[in-house]
Structure 1
């Protein structure tokens, strides 16, 4: 069969590469993809994620069995609804179901209604009201743009002044456009963060290995939030009892609640959780795979990913199997200046082979050449599997030290929380 993946980043590279491993899969197309993906035999298609009609036409004319939707903004724009209305299968939630991600206020309402543990909060569109709430609650406190902001619309403020300034930038200065027209202001939760993913069809769901992302741009969790600078899976110091509790108190009630709300969920549910002294609580929900967690979770999958998704779409019980030993770890290499202004066109090292995988997020061939150049904030990611976090770190950082990374940078402590 032939499959289509919608998106262009490292997440989509990992999804498409894993799908292509299936003996049942003849071709995997990625729209719009990036040039680095072609080095793994993937075929990129010059159609943007917002061009739903063109994507539907492509899927029909190329006999695509089903389409995997990667990015949050495509889901929020109703791409799955459009595919379904055209009689095509797509793996991802409808626009109404994806509101769990594209409106933090909606997600909070669902959690409160169905008894899911999360931080106390208030939602505001008026700056003066938001300021008064912040001053009453004190700091530390968290200010979030209600809508999608490419992983950058969250400010963990250590002082009241920082929180008020964040609210001002979102509500008055329009820093995130319509996404910040409302803000959700949350109680700061103290504890260890982890990511829990599930493949879902209605009330049936299948839990993936836990992962831990590193959002801050610099070593030691310093600097602004990014889309993610690296990750590892599973989280070795997280007991199974915490995962079981998370499933029972968070995943099940949310999915049941979505059915009751008339928004049954299909696709990947990503719960960003924090283990507090009172147990696991929700920081956020995403309606798709995370990036960079996808790149370190999917290499641990030992079953046929294409068959697994085919079965879930058909309402059948999938046979999903995972590596049961070792740790998979990955480090993102980004352009100097990211997540703020950055240069493009930096020459990239050769693609790694063997037991270190290269996933490309922002890469483009030089004109009239097969030399890869940087073309985004996050550029590529090196991923490996080893017996322990330390062994995986040693392999990745040894390889990175051998690469020419002028004009690029990376964190040097991915996975160190597990040591």
Structure 2
């Protein structure tokens, strides 16, 4: 077996997926559509494709003798790319359009959890401003306001005051800040505790978990500033033992995938569960229908088995093997363009980092070429990861590297992993 695989996507997550696939003994070549110029450093072929044009994707797959496709981002999943590829006789790893609703609509996910008794915050859904305002005034703050649809990780406001909650509703319904994604809002009770992420390979009712990870959403140190798509992550989590992951699997993940089978929307792919670890146990913050970003960049380097072989076996209906290192810690830090997440500046040089086993750069919003240099083209430009025998040494290694790089025009958080370190 020597597969040629196409990865759909262009970000650091897809870079990490492509690198991990290419490292497998069963893989010959990995293509990424549309990819980004930084991926060329790792021998990944870039496919100049409009991935919203499913016919063009199908033609490319046939022309390049692609064996199967890994769909990375949420948008093509929610738009039904897996369905289109399957109809064309092409193997694709990811959920169908119907199953991807678990990410595409927060109301869909919350209603599913309510029907099946899956632990999450109490909520209400609104499609008009006035009743939403009334609900918020009656319930008070803190309270959480979420755009129902996809908003690139920026559609959530954790409102600590009533004014913040009402302002969030104005942004959704009056300013139309999130467009069609904000046609409805889900308003949730506030949950306190630490958040973490549990990603699982899923086929119907069967689940194969990955190590827990923790993302850092606020833009600046000490969890200050606006929410972003993620500024860094680490895995495993020294503050949580295996019992937390086991409890989340039994009370949340397995009941959710069973519920999706029962309701006629079976899920195959990667189910991401955002967890809040409360005094009452883990509860669901959100579901995603794909791998998290930047959690992927610290979880996949822990994999010791062949990712492609595991996924192919899963798709074939067999019993896949996914094995993970437990003797190292992984940490990653996002290099973002100044102005992110609001109006990121473009054009700043993005440093190149030569990959090695304990150090890797995964590129995202960049222009240029490896030979001519990369420049910032959007908010998150690169994710730099490092490993160490424990979290403290991994953190020292990553920041030692970053402090030596020229990051003019870019910024990064200096405290990724701080909650884990507090327990050491």
| TM-score of Structure 1 vs Structure 2, range by shorter chain | over 0.9
Correspondence list, 1:223-242, <5 A: 223-242=225-244
For 1:359 and 1:3, locate their aligned partners in 2 and report how far apart those are by CA, in whole Å: 19
Whole-Å separation in 2 of the counterparts to 1:283 and 1:152: 14
The runs of at least 4 consecutive aligned structure 1 residues that moved more than 4 Å come to: none
Tell me the equivalent position of 1:91.
93
2:85 and 2:110 map into 1 onto residues whose CA distance is 28
Q: Give the match for residue 265 of structure 1.
A: 267
User: CA distance change for structure 1 residues 369 and 319 in 2, over 3 Å: closer, same or farther?
Assistant: closer
Q: CA deviation at 1:356?
A: 1.1
| Structure 1 residues not aligned, in runs of 5+ | none
Give runs of aligned pairs for residues 254-403 of structure 1, distance below 5 A. Answer: 254-354=256-356, 355-365=358-368, 370-403=372-405
Return the alpha-carbon distance in structure 2 between the equivalents of residues 393 and 241 of structure 1. 25
Match of 1:218 in 2: 220
Question: Residues 288-316 of structure 1, C-alpha deviation per residue, up to 9 Å, x if partnerless?
Answer: 00000001000000000110110111111
TM-score by length of 1: 0.98
1:412 partner SS: coil
Q: 1:45 aligns with which of 37, 47, 62?
A: 47
Note the C-alpha offset of 1:53.
Answer: 1.1
Q: What is the alpha-carbon distance in structure 2 between the residues aligned to residue 149 and residue 49 of structure 1?
A: 19
Between the aligned partners of 1:378 and 1:169, the Cα distance in structure 2 is 24
Residue 154 (structure 2) aligned to one of 137, 152, 155:
152
Distance in 1 separating the partners of 2:284 and 2:408: 38
Specify every segment of 5 or more residues in structure 2 that has no aligned partner in the other structure, as ranges: none
In the TM superposition, what whole-angstrom CA distance separates every residue of 1:5-62 from its partner, at most 9, and x where no partner exists? 0000000000001111112211100000000001100001111221211111111221
Deviates more, 1:268-277 or 1:240-249: 240-249
CA RMSD of aligned residues (A): 1.0
8 A Cα contact 2:352 2:361, kept in partner: no
| Matching of residues 156-235 of structure 1 within 5 Å | 156-235=158-237
Superposed CA deviations along residues 99-136 of structure 1, whole A, max 9, x for unmatched, are 00000000000001111000000100110000000001
The number of equivalent residue pairs is 418
SS in 2 for 1:22: coil
- Residue 135 of structure 1 is matched in structure 2 by 137
